[in-house]
Structure 1
Amino acid sequence: MAFMGIHDLWSFIIAVLVFLAIPGPGTFALLTASGKHGVRGGYATLGGLILGDQILMWLAAGGVAALLAANPTLFKGVQYLGAAYLVWIGIQLLRSRGETATGLIRLQPGHLFRQGMLITLLNPKAIVFYMAFFPLFIDPVAHQGMLTFATMAALIALLSLGYCSLLIFAGTAMRTQVQRHRFLSQWLQRLAGLFLVGFGIRLGAG
């Protein structure tokens, strides 16, 4: 049974948490900000990251909604492509050696919110990801228009807030561990890769 037009709500929640756990520029920006500027700096950066994410999500939602209204049959094809894309991302993570962009992050006091937002907005792959991700969890029959997208966006924001709060309070200790021990980053990426390959196959078969 679909919740607010979202097919398989718990799989949606788990998938979002898996993506949040993948170390990336946003993760390290958050750890850097909280490590250098405390909890307040961490939440300022997080606010920017979430706002940037919401902007990209709504841009993607507009495209997905237009596709769903114009051609429901084509929308089903997009769902299969989304599942394949999920598997492809998972395979890339499994093949990754754990490289991260930590050296490129330069956060300055007083600009943490804006810089956090730009880290998200300047990632061209993000909107492509949302265009592929949203259709996987939309029930074309129970879909409730923009209300469904609003529910999905709100859930992603809440899950981001909860997960990233753990990173903020972990602060310098977690940042140091992740940066010093590349195997930890690599382990997290490969674990996420396994989950994503499994999700893609399961959702594509469903």
Structure 2
Amino acid sequence: MTTIDLSVVPGFVLAVILILIAPGPDLAYMVAVGLGSGRRAALSAIAGICSGMGIYALIVIAGLGTIVASSPLALTVIKIFGAGYLLWLGIGAIRSARTAAGNQRSLDAGRWYFRGLLVSLTNPKLLLFFIALLPQFIGEASSPTLQLALLSVIDILIEFVLYGAVGLFAGSFQSWFADSAKGGRLLHYIAAGVYLALAALVVVDLFLQ
């Protein structure tokens, strides 16, 4: 047995890509950030999201993920906070659309990084994702901890590249409409719609659980 098993990496990469290309909160959030605030904001946001993923990955690697995931109350609190935060972002985007001075590009990179981090950390499904997927690709590794760490890094890098590209692409539309008041308002309203839809999905999920 080797310390880490690289033979399972191609299958893991394929699984991650198939999961990530399906519409989800992080993907929708990147589209909203890119449309509403441009490329720089999108890059900062995806860095924040990936940092949140890294925190969840460390929790799972440390063996605490199953304990946290087994607490319905903890997951419910996280979801409620996440829904409230997305609602706040949606309201903020609507205000930006209605006021010429409300251009979200005025926020610095640090603020967008922090927002991305919060969006990631308030999505407990990421934790469940790591718990469910990573152990399936331990393979013949003699060090499960190092194997999980490797898989986590690969997963985070894939999301950074894929969702970062989505954010940059969406941001290109924001750049094109930057000098158009009507176009800028439309993009802000679209971003607000995405935020509010995500918040609604979290609330629905709370009632269905």
Measured against the shorter chain, the TM-score band is: 0.5 to 0.7
2: CA distance between counterparts of 1:157 and 1:27?
14
Amino acid at match of 1:4: I
2: CA distance between counterparts of 1:174 and 1:135?
40
1: CA distance between counterparts of 2:88 and 2:12?
31
Pairing 1:12–2:34 present: no
**Alpha-carbon distance, 1:104 to partner:** 7.0
1: CA distance between counterparts of 2:170 and 2:11?
29
1: CA distance between counterparts of 2:173 and 2:19?
18
Per the alignment, residue 36 of structure 1 pairs with: 36
- Count of residue correspondences: 144
1:180-191 alignment, distance < 5 Å = none
2: CA distance between counterparts of 1:13 and 1:54?
17
Q: Cα–Cα, structure 1 residues 127 and 65, in superposed 2: closer, same or farther, change >3 Å?
A: closer
After superposition, give the CA deviation of every residue in 1:122-141 in whole Å (9 maximum; x if it has no partner). Answer: 112221221111111112x4
**Alpha-carbon distance, 1:12 to partner:** 0.4
Q: Cα–Cα, structure 1 residues 103 and 171, in superposed 2: closer, same or farther, change >3 Å?
A: farther
Per the alignment, residue 98 of structure 2 pairs with: none
In the TM superposition, structure 1's runs of 4+ consecutive aligned residues that sit over 3 Å from their partners are 102-108, 172-176
Amino acid at match of 2:47: G
- Unaligned stretches of 5+ residues in structure 2: 67-85, 94-103, 175-186, 192-209
* 8 Å Cα contact 2:3/2:142 also seen in 1: no
Q: With the length of structure 2 as denominator, give the TM-score of the two structures.
A: 0.57
Q: Cα–Cα, structure 1 residues 3 and 18, in superposed 2: closer, same or farther, change >3 Å?
A: farther
Per the alignment, residue 82 of structure 1 pairs with: none
2: CA distance between counterparts of 1:149 and 1:28?
27
Q: Cα–Cα, structure 1 residues 62 and 113, in superposed 2: closer, same or farther, change >3 Å?
A: same
Per the alignment, residue 150 of structure 1 pairs with: 149
Q: Secondary structure at the match of 1:63?
A: coil
Per the alignment, residue 21 of structure 1 pairs with: 21
Larger C-alpha radius of gyration, 1 or 2?
A: 2
* 8 Å Cα contact 1:63/1:131 also seen in 2: no
**Alpha-carbon distance, 1:166 to partner:** 2.1
Q: Secondary structure at the match of 1:23?
A: coil
Identity of aligned residues (%): 21
Pairing 1:160–2:128 present: no
Amino acid at match of 1:146: T
**Alpha-carbon distance, 1:144 to partner:** 2.3
1:68-107 alignment, distance < 5 Å = 105-106=89-90
Q: Cα–Cα, structure 1 residues 9 and 31, in superposed 2: closer, same or farther, change >3 Å?
A: same
2: CA distance between counterparts of 1:17 and 1:174?
25
**Alpha-carbon distance, 1:5 to partner:** 2.5
RMSD: 3.5
